[in-house]
Structure 1
Amino acid sequence: MIERRTAVALLASPLLLAGCGGAGETGRRAPGPRGAAAPRVAAQQAPRTPRGIPGLGPRRSAAISERCGQAVVVTGRGPDSPLCTVVLHQRTSDGWQAGPAWPAHNALHGWSGHHLLDDLRSPLGVYTLSDAGGLLPDPGSRLPYHRSRGFHSPGTGFKGEPLEGSFDYVIAIDYNRKPGTSPLDWTRPLGPGRGGGVWLHVDHGGPTHACVSVAKAHMKELLHTLDPDRHPVVVMGYADWLAERAA
């Protein structure tokens, strides 16, 4: 008796390859009732991984509370650079959704993991955002807004640029301060030597002492969007630090 061999060519469709790891069924199916359509096999899809925040390694991502629904990410160009980019991310059912990238400034000498008064560096870290304020009337802030003439900003910056209007709108970064108070409050839980008064504020065209500054229109957008019920934070540092994977 001569054994017959039948070569069967299987053509895998792109949809089959994309689902269930590309594995297809190769065995014969049992015949169904005459005239009945062949049973349909539901495609199995691998569970989707929620989108993370681009540029953040596991270490920085883990520092963001699960209840946090808004994260302002400040990405510096380098440890000693005063230039950075600000992006507001919002948590959705599919993960974090990024907004537009805004050019910004940080401190003159870059960044520090142990910020000190007048070191001209911005503090690295993840900090809550609890309070706002400014020289101008409340533009519709969701955060508690404290208007005061104390936000007047005379003088010139490091490049000789006028500082007038820099504090028209500010959002206090909860570094060495007491949340729930005006950004002008001088309470310093870590002591005065560790600095304070670190804000998001209106950009004046040059480096800051320790704050992060963006254009006035972007400050108004942050004030309109940041919602205390979503527990907003700022994640701030130079790119390599933000991307760190382990201690």
Structure 2
Amino acid sequence: MWRQIPDGTRQAVVVYGDRPDSPDSLVVLYQKRGSTWQQTASWPAHNGRLGWTTDHRIDDERSPVGVFTLTDAGGTLADPGSRLRYWQDDNAYASMLNPEQAHLHDFDYVIAIDYNRLRGVPPFDWSRPDGVEKGGGIWLHTDHGDGTSACVTVSGPAMKTLLRTLEPAQHPVVVMGDREHLKS
């Protein structure tokens, strides 16, 4: 998977899933110093409830395996100092939760994963260039303690660190999948 990282990328958020069918993972932030990738932070995380897939489909509850750019961010809370373009809108993000989840803080902070989405638009934009059936709306966002529909989640402090660290000029990407896929 490291070979798929575009030239010029100097920041990588790597999501190491425990197993192909596990919702548990580890997020590691790497930054390139010269020609060497250095780990600068790591956090426990969650991914899709049913694990990982190389053929993501809408509502399959699996996170897509791959390398994806990170270009846009947002959330229900005010910008904490994001270097990525940030769209704050408590109504747009809150509308994605069902009424029983209204108390959750899942979307306090989000970073859009550029899987089947247009870059340069708010994370909550529902344009799907590869079609609705391929899913989309996959984000790094605030953790709620277990697996997701397809997103990757970390703690609120971890999200703030990512938002304040990832910068467009460094061409950040997320490299994500279960450990077996990441080795190949």
Question: Secondary structure of the equivalent of 1:237?
Answer: strand
TM-score norm. by structure 2 comes to 0.95
Alignment of 1:135-154 (within 5 A): 135-148=76-89, 149-152=91-94, 153-154=97-98
Give the Cα–Cα distance (whole angstroms) in 1 for the partners of residues 182 and 100 of structure 2. 31
1:83 matched to 2:14: no
Following the alignment from structure 2 to structure 1, what is the Cα–Cα distance between the partners of residues 42 and 100? 27
Q: Is the 8 A contact 1:84 1:106 kept in 2?
A: yes
Deviations 1:217-241 (A, max 9, x none): 0000000000000000000000011
SS in 2 for 1:222: helix
Q: Which residue of 2 aligns with 1:100?
A: 41
Which amino acid in structure 1 is aligned with residue 118 of structure 2? K
Residue identity opposite 1:197 in structure 2: G
Query: In the aligned structure 1, how far is the partner of 2:20 from the partner of 2:139?
Result: 19
Q: How many residues align?
A: 181
1:101 offset after TM fit, Å? 2.0
Closer/same/farther in 2, CA of residues 111 and 163 from structure 1, 3 Å limit: farther
The structure with the largest alpha-carbon Rg is 1
Q: Does 1:238 align with 2:178?
A: yes
> Where do 1:134-173 residues align within 5 Å?
134-148=75-89, 149-152=91-94, 153-155=97-99, 164-173=104-113
CA distances 1:31-61 after superposition (whole Å, capped 9, x unpaired): xxxxxxxxxxxxxxxxxxxxxxxxxxxxx11
Q: Distance in 2 between matches of 1:141 and 1:100?
A: 17
The answer for unaligned runs of 5 or more in structure 1 is: 1-59
Report the AA paired with residue 229 of structure 1.
A
Q: Aligned-pair distance for 1:164? A: 1.0
1:63 aligns to 2:4 (yes or no)? yes
Following TM superposition, by how much is the alpha carbon of 1:206 offset from its aligned partner in structure 2, in angstroms?
A: 1.0
Greater than 3 Å deviation, 4+ residue runs: 153-157
Is contact 1:154-1:164 (8 Å) kept?
Answer: no
Q: Do the aligned residues in 2 keep the contact of 1:155 with 1:164 (CA within 8 Å)?
A: no
1:198-225, CA deviations, whole angstroms, 9 ceiling, x for partnerless residues? Answer: 0000000111000000000000000000
Higher strand share: 2
- Which residue pairs with 1:195 in the alignment? 135
Residue 210 of structure 1, aligned match among 145, 150, 155: 150
Aligned equivalent of 2:114, options 171, 174, 180: 174
The structure showing larger relative contact order (alpha-carbon pairs under 8 Å, at least 6 residues apart) is 2
Once the two structures are superposed, residues 116-171 of structure 1 have per-residue CA deviations (whole angstroms, 9 ceiling, x without a partner) of 000000000000000000000011000000011211145557xxxx8611000000
TM-score by length of 1: 0.71
Structure 2: gaps of 5 or more residues = none
Give, in whole Å, the separation in 1 of the partners of 2:104 and 2:125. 21
Letter of the 2:11 counterpart: Q
State the distance in 1 between where 2:35 and 2:14 align: 19
RMSD: 1.3
